[in-house]
Amino acid sequence: MRIKSAFITLCSALLTFSILHSEPLKAQTNFKLPDLGTSALQALPIEKEQAIGEVMMMQIRGSSPVVSDPVLDEYLTTLGRRLVANANDVRFPFSFFWIDNPEINAFAFYGGHVGVHTGLIAQADNESQFASVLGHEIAHVTQRHLARRIQQQQDNSALTIAGMIAGILATVVAPDAGIAIISANQTQAAFSQLTHSRAAEQEADRIGMQTLNNAGFDPRQSSEFLTKLAAQIRYKYKPPAFLLTHPLPESRVSDVRLRAEQYPKKHFEDSLEFNLAKSRVIARYYQKSKAAEDLFRKLMRENTVHNTALKYGLGISLLDQKKLDEAANILEPLLKEDPKNLFYIDTHTDLLIAQGKAAEAVTYLAKLDVDRPNNQVITLNYANAAIEAEQYELAERILKSFLLAKPEHNLGKQLIASVYKKQENMASYHEANADVLAQYGAYLKAADEIQKALNFVEPEELVKQQRLKALLTQYRQLQKELARL
Predicted local distance difference test score (pLDDT) of residue 440: 84
Q: What DSSP state is assigned to residue 66?
A: B
- Mapped onto helix, strand or coil, the DSSP state of residue 446 is helix
Domain ranges of the chain: 12-260, 288-354
Predicted local distance difference test score (pLDDT) of residue 413: 96
Q: What is the pLDDT of residues 297-312, one digit of tens each?
A: 999 999 877 799 999 9
User: Whole-angstrom Cα distance, residue 204 to residue 168?
Assistant: 18
174 pLDDT above the threshold of 70: no
φ/ψ bin of 203: left (φ > 0), alpha (ψ from -120 to 50), beta (otherwise): alpha
Q: What DSSP state is assigned to residue 345?
A: H
Predicted local distance difference test score (pLDDT) of residue 175: 55
Strands lying side by side in the sheet with 113-117:
95-99, 113-117, 106-109
Nearby residues of 163 by Cβ (< 8 Å), 6 or more positions away? 13, 17, 185, 187, 190
Residue 375 has, within 13 A of its CA and on its CB side, a CA count of 23
Predicted local distance difference test score (pLDDT) of residue 22: 37
For residue 79, the one-letter residue type is L
Q: What is the pLDDT of residues 65-104, one digit of tens each?
A: 899 999 999 999 999 999 999 999 888 889 999 999 998 8
Q: CA angle, corner 275, sides to 270 and 281, nearest 5?
A: 145
For residue 8, the one-letter residue type is I
Is 356 or 62 the better-scoring residue by pLDDT? 356
Q: CA angle, corner 353, sides to 347 and 358, nearest 5?
A: 125
Is 424 or 439 the better-scoring residue by pLDDT? 424
Catalytic residue numbers read 137, 205
Q: CA angle, corner 344, sides to 348 and 367, nearest 5?
A: 70
Q: What DSSP state is assigned to residue 196?
A: P
Contact between residue 311 and residue 330 where contact means Cβ atoms under 8 Å apart: yes
Q: What is the pTM for the complete model shown?
A: 0.84
Helical ranges in 124-219 per DSSP H? 127-142, 145-152, 158-173, 175-184, 188-194, 198-214
How does residue 60 score in pLDDT terms, banded at 50, 70 and 90?
confident
The winner for highest mean pLDDT among 9-13, 189-193, 278-282, 300-304 is: 278-282
Predicted local distance difference test score (pLDDT) of residue 135: 95
User: Whole-angstrom Cα distance, residue 409 to residue 404?
Assistant: 10
User: Whole-angstrom Cα distance, residue 397 to residue 37?
Assistant: 46
- Mapped onto helix, strand or coil, the DSSP state of residue 385 is helix
Predicted local distance difference test score (pLDDT) of residue 110: 80
Q: What DSSP state is assigned to residue 216?
A: T
How does residue 167 score in pLDDT terms, banded at 50, 70 and 90?
low
Phi, psi values for residue 106, rounded to 5°:
-155, 155
User: Whole-angstrom Cα distance, residue 443 to residue 472?
Assistant: 10
For residue 414, the one-letter residue type is Q
Report CA-CA distances (Å) from 172 to 94, 96, 109, 175, 444: 17, 14, 8, 6, 27
How does residue 54 score in pLDDT terms, banded at 50, 70 and 90?
confident
- Mapped onto helix, strand or coil, the DSSP state of residue 217 is coil
Query: Mean pLDDT, to the nearest integer, of 313-334?
Result: 98
Predicted local distance difference test score (pLDDT) of residue 236: 63
CA 287 from chain centre, in angstroms, equals 19
Percent of the chain with pLDDT over 90: 55
How does residue 223 score in pLDDT terms, banded at 50, 70 and 90?
confident
256 pLDDT above the threshold of 80: yes
Predicted local distance difference test score (pLDDT) of residue 417: 97
Query: Mean pLDDT, to the nearest integer, of 158-168?
Result: 53
Q: 60-73 as b/e, with b when 16 or more CB fall inside 10 Å?
A: bbbbbebbbbbbbb
409 pLDDT above the threshold of 80: yes
Radius of gyration of the CA atoms of the chain, in A: 24
User: Whole-angstrom Cα distance, residue 34 to residue 41?
Assistant: 10
244 pLDDT above the threshold of 80: no
Is 465 or 226 the better-scoring residue by pLDDT? 465
Least confident of 336-340, 373-377, 417-421, 477-481: 477-481
Q: What is the pLDDT of residues 361-378, one digit of tens each?
A: 999 999 999 999 999 999
Is 297 or 248 the better-scoring residue by pLDDT? 297
Nearest C-alpha neighbor of 80 from the set 133, 120, 2: 133
User: Whole-angstrom Cα distance, residue 332 to residue 311?
Assistant: 11
Is 458 or 189 the better-scoring residue by pLDDT? 458
Nearest C-alpha neighbor of 217 from the set 255, 267, 281: 267
Phi, psi values for residue 66, rounded to 5°:
-70, 130
The winner for highest mean pLDDT among 109-118, 158-167, 260-269, 458-467 is: 458-467
Query: Mean pLDDT, to the nearest integer, of 422-448?
Result: 93
Predicted local distance difference test score (pLDDT) of residue 197: 65
